[in-house]
Structure 1
Amino acid sequence: MAEVKAKKYEYWETLWKLVEEYPQVLICEANNVGSNLLQDIRTKIRGQAVMLFGKNTLIRAGLKHRMEEPTPEQEDYEKRKDKWFPLESVKELIPNIKGNVGLIFCKGGMDKILDIIENSTTPAEAKAGTVSPCNVFVPPGPTGMDPSQTAFFQALGISTKIAKGQIEIITEVQVIEKGKKVGNSEAVLLKKLNIKPFKFGLKVTKVFDNGSVYSAEVLKLTPDIVIEKFLNGVRNIAAMSLELGIPTAASVPHSVLNGFKNLVGIAISIDYPLKQAQTIIDVIKDPSKLAALQAAPTATTTAAPQETSKPVEEEKEVEVDEDLGGMFGDEDY
């Protein structure tokens, strides 16, 4: 019993140290992930992040234990009195430790760690009873199976023919649908064809960052995507402000432009010479002038080099070797 308790405290101290030193945590699902793949990921992220696995109840208990201020009456008071400090922000992490999860503690560069995790997968066979994460297709072509197994393909509704002493699939066929369980026949067929349709690895589901928890998709946002989403939000605010008649910083430019359009319309209707929009008014009254206005910049650009072309005096060639200070001596080369 004492040995078990000592191991528990040893694990907790490792957990506490990681929580103190690493303010960012990637929460990962570890379904169907083997130990070899985990070791490979550990090697790749070494020096950038630390991976921690353990029983969920043990992790949650360790975090809660660290958050509770010790009292002298407690048996482990001497161990905790100098290490305790309130970890209020960890409260948001505790509810997300459920299921088959692992924690990857990071100090920064979580997007790079995410790329490493997503690129570290291993192919796996389709096992009967498992839920398929993707659609699975069998390509056309020879299967390497003898003609005596034709009935097996007929039972699955797969069109085949006999060519060169082996069964050949005529057209591509879908055998497993995404989100549905793999049947025994489909699993046997894929195994016979040596097809490993699934790829398993750690899946980052959420990110814990200095007390806040958000989706891992946020790490994939680039500056261009952020700017695009911001501009879409500005457009929505401007449209709402114009519709409600409430001026905002986003809608004022549109209001000014709309007001100017109204002034142009009034000036045309009463034949008033509006100096600020005279060119627009002329084009509206006589659309043929638009072609002349469009051609004017082109003509100006073409004529510009001719107007500015002036004879340029030839620059005198500089004798760069006059002041070498006898670097090469008096010898002839």
Structure 2
Amino acid sequence: MKANKKIPQWKSEFVSSIAEKIASYSVVGVLDISGLPAAQFQRIRHRLKGQAEIVVGKNTLFHISLQRAAGHKGEKILDLSKFLRGQTALILTNLNPFKLSKILDESKTSAPAKPGMISPKDITIPAGETEFSPGPVVGELQRVGVKARIQAGKVVILEDSPILKQGDIISKEIADVLGKLNIHPIELGLKLIAAYEGGIIYSGEMLKIDEAKVLSQIQGAYTNALYLSLNVCYPTRANIGTLLMKARVSALNLAINAKIFTSEVAPMLLSRSAAEMLSLARAICASDERALDEDLKRMIAIAPSPKEGEGKAEKPKEEKVEKEEEMAGLGTLFG
């Protein structure tokens, strides 16, 4: 009978150590470290010191470590195993996974393309004059699909020339042309493939967000919610000042039009009544001056003449609150 193969002690210790670390951190991520120079890897690891811990090892040992940690973290963490392909490492942290992704992206640097590499994005050679003098470079450019010719003693690229699409394998000819044009399309750094937090697996693409766009969307949602709450008169901490202002103006308008005397409304009603009385007096005076006494005649002479159309006493129209007055307080909400 064949004896079971003994597992080396260092492997058992490594798995136990990683399983304990996975259990102690809130976020566990899988990194792609392929093609990353050792010196840059160490710089990134040093930069993350105190914020995250990077562990390098074999994928099979990582898989076993995840299985052991599943009892504490939950079965969902085992889904990280499907991302353990190629050269990988685990990153352990208590940072928000979105913040972690941003930090890793900011640590990336540009590098020249080498033959056999995969293009990370579409690459187009822009039109314009180059620094090259006439020579073999014209043929090199033309061989990779760049329209170039000599003008006024310089090599000129006639139009924007796409030479690579994302995912294309970079040939030696294209790599040489990109190098001569000082175009460095390769990003070197740690790529976050996936991250686990609180029972959820986030893919690397999900963790890449446009902060300016998201902030704009949040501000738009806040403004829409604020206007909705004002329109339905739903009081909140953000709109209570504006609602009270709107209610006060509406109450004053109602009191004026309904002729309800209050300490605030009385002066306005008396002023309106005086204006209507003088307008009526002028209309009567125009027909028969004898109908007015001397005091009233003096008041008409001192008071400004009414504008055309104001001679007749009209039923007061209900005053409307301008939208700008109702929303006057909105400006203060956004500073």
TM bucket normalised to smaller: 0.5 to 0.7
Distance 1:136 1:103 in 2: 35
Shift of 1:212: 5.7
- 1:104 paired residue among 91, 94, 111: 91
Distance 2:219 2:181 in 1: 51
**DSSP-derived class of the 1:93 partner:** helix
Label 1:202 to 1:147 Cα distance change in 2 as closer, same or farther (>3 A).
same
Provide structure 1 residue ranges, at least 5 long, that are not aligned to the other structure: 68-85, 286-333
Shift of 1:120: 4.3
Distance 1:177 1:267 in 2: 74
Matches within 5 A, 1:32-51: 32-46=35-49, 48-51=51-54
Label 1:212 to 1:276 Cα distance change in 2 as closer, same or farther (>3 A).
farther
**DSSP-derived class of the 1:259 partner:** helix
Label 1:123 to 1:61 Cα distance change in 2 as closer, same or farther (>3 A).
same
Once the two structures are superposed, what CA deviation does each residue of 1:258-283 show, in whole Å capped at 9, x if it has no partner? 4334334435555666655899999x
Label 1:150 to 1:7 Cα distance change in 2 as closer, same or farther (>3 A).
same
Q: Which residue of structure 2 aligns with residue 123 of structure 1?
A: 111
Distance 1:61 1:92 in 2: 14
Q: In structure 2, give the amino acid aligned to 1:181.
A: D
Shift of 1:2: 3.3
- 2:186 paired residue among 173, 176, 198: 198
Asked if the contact 1:25/1:103 (under 8 Å) is kept, the reply is yes
Q: Which residue of structure 1 aligns with residue 150 of structure 2?
A: 161
Distance 1:235 1:280 in 2: 35
Distance 2:262 2:166 in 1: 67
**DSSP-derived class of the 2:120 partner:** coil
Once the two structures are superposed, what CA deviation does each residue of 1:35-77 show, in whole Å capped at 9, x if it has no partner? 443233234434553211344454233222344xxxxxxxxxx
Shift of 1:123: 1.0
Asked if the contact 1:24/1:106 (under 8 Å) is kept, the reply is yes
Q: In structure 2, give the amino acid aligned to 1:50.
A: E
Aligned residue pairs, count: 256
- TM-score between both structures, scaled by the size of structure 2: 0.55
Label 1:280 to 1:128 Cα distance change in 2 as closer, same or farther (>3 A).
farther
- 1:143 paired residue among 118, 132, 135: 132
Q: Does 1:17 align with 2:20?
A: yes
Q: Which residue of structure 2 aligns with residue 266 of structure 1?
A: 254
Once the two structures are superposed, what CA deviation does each residue of 1:282-328 show, in whole Å capped at 9, x if it has no partner? 9xx9xxxxxxxxxxxxxxxxxxxxxxxxxxxxxxxxxxxxxxxxxxx
**DSSP-derived class of the 2:177 partner:** helix
- 1:175 paired residue among 162, 178, 183: 162
Q: Between the two proteins, what is the percent identity of the paired residues?
A: 17
**DSSP-derived class of the 1:50 partner:** strand
Q: How well do the aligned residues superpose, as a CA RMSD in angstroms?
A: 4.7
Distance 1:279 1:105 in 2: 72
**DSSP-derived class of the 1:2 partner:** coil
Q: Which residue of structure 2 aligns with residue 289 of structure 1?
A: none
Q: Which has the larger radius of gyration?
A: 2
Q: In structure 2, give the amino acid aligned to 1:160.
A: R
